[in-house]
Amino acid sequence: MRPGALEEHTLKEAIQKMIKEFSDVSEVEIMLDYQLDKVDFENTKEDIIFRIVQESITNALRHGRAKKVEINIYQRVSDLEIVIGDNGVGCDDLKLGYGLKQMQERAAILNGRLEYYSKEGFTVKVTIPMKEGNDMIKVLIADDQELIRESLKIVLNTHEDLQVIDTVEDGFGVLDSLKRNIPDVILMDIRMPRMDGVYCTKMVKEAYPDVKIIILTTFDDDDFVFSALKFGASGYLLKGVSMAGLYQAILTVVSGGAMINPDIATKVFRLFSKMANTNYAINVNNDNVRELNKPEWKVIQQVGFGLSNKEMLKNYFYLKEPFEII
C-alpha cells in the first residue's frame, strides 16, 4: 500500500515530513542529504525508497538506541545509493533480522542489493540500478484485489526490462494514473468497482491509442471477450496464465502482436466460423451501423470475401507477427 505521505508530497518532502515526525517523539537528531532533486521516480520506486528509510530510522531508534542518524540519498553513475548510518550501540554478531529482511526484499523488487555493517554504530547501504525509462517497458496494473496487484508487481519487477510504474484498483484509477505517467502496457482486470475494465479499455484507447492493454481476468464470458477486443485490447488472458506466459504476452503486445488464451481464442474462431460458413445473420440497428469504425468494416468485408478463419483473425487483430496462443 502506498505511504500516505507520498500521496500529497514529493519523495524528498515525504522523507522530510517523516523525519520531523520521528524527531517530535524522540530525542534523535536526523540529518538528510538528498541529492536527487532533478530525478523523477515512478510510484513503485518512491514507495520502496521511502519504506527503506523509514525502516532504517525505526531500527536505529528501537534496537540501536541511536541519538544521531545520517541519511544520504544520491546517484553514483547509473545506480541510486541510499546510505543510512547511526551512532547507536551497534552489534558484533550481526544477524539478518526481520527489519533487514524487509529492506532486502524491497531492494530486490528493484533489482537492488542491501549491505550492512556495524562499526561505531550501524550502517545500511542500498544500491538500486537506475535505468532510463526508455530502456524499460512500463507497466500499469489495474485490479480491485490488492493481493493480486502487489503479487504481480513483485513478480514483474524481477524482470530487468519491465518496470511497474503504478497499481490501481479500478478504471478511474487508471485514468488518473495516466495523467501522471504513460505506461507501455496496462494489465487490466474486467470486473472492478466504479468503472470496469471493458469501458476503461474504451476510454484509454480513445485518449491514448498507443498504450497496449492486456485483459487479465477470471471471466471468459463472450460479452467481455468481444467487447474488450472491439475496444482495442491487444490481449485477453485468464489469471491462470503462468508468470512466464504473462511476461511473454507483455513483450508480444509491445512489439505489435496479440496474445489470447486458448479457450478464448476458440470462442473467437467459432464466431468467425459461424459467420463464414452459414447463413448467420446479425440484426443491426441503423444507428449502430453508423458507429462502425474502419477496422470493423474491414472484418465484415473479409467475411464477404470468404477468407479463412486464420486470415480473418490476422486481419481483425492487425497482427504484425503470426497469431500466437499461449
Q: Phi and psi at residue 258, in whole multiples of 5°?
A: -145, 150
Q: Using only C-alpha atoms, what is the Rg of the chain? A: 25
pTM of the model: 0.48
User: How does 220-234 read in b/e, with b if 16+ C-beta sit within 10 Å?
Assistant: beeebbbbbbbbbbb
Q: Which three cell numbers stand for residue 249?
A: 504476452
Nearest to 309 by CA among 279, 280, 264, 266: 266
The total of other beta-carbon atoms located within 10 Å of residue 140's CB is: 26
Which amino acid belongs to residue 26? S
Which amino acid belongs to residue 61? L
Hey, what domains does the chain have and what are their CATH numbers?
Answer: 5-129 (3.30.565.10), 133-325 (3.40.50.2300)
Tens digits of pLDDT across the chain (326 residues)? 778 888 888 999 999 999 999 999 888 999 999 998 767 777 888 899 999 999 999 988 888 788 999 999 998 867 889 999 999 887 766 666 777 888 888 888 888 888 888 877 899 999 988 765 456 889 999 999 999 999 999 999 888 788 898 999 999 999 999 988 889 999 999 888 888 888 899 999 999 999 999 988 776 666 677 777 888 888 888 888 888 889 989 988 888 888 877 766 776 666 666 655 655 555 555 555 566 666 666 666 655 555 555 555 555 544 444 444 44
Q: Phi and psi at residue 117, in whole multiples of 5°?
A: -155, 155
3-state secondary structure 163-227: EEEEEECCHHHHHHHHCCCCCCEEEECCCCCCCCHHHHHHHHHHHCCCCEEEEEECCCCHHHHHH
Alpha helices, H only, the chain: 5-8, 11-24, 43-62, 98-109, 146-156, 171-178, 197-207, 222-230, 243-254, 262-277, 286-291, 294-305, 309-317
| Helices 262-277 and 222-230: angle between axes, nearest 10 degrees | 80
Q: Which three cell numbers stand for residue 130?
A: 537506475
The secondary structure of residue 124, as a DSSP letter, is: E
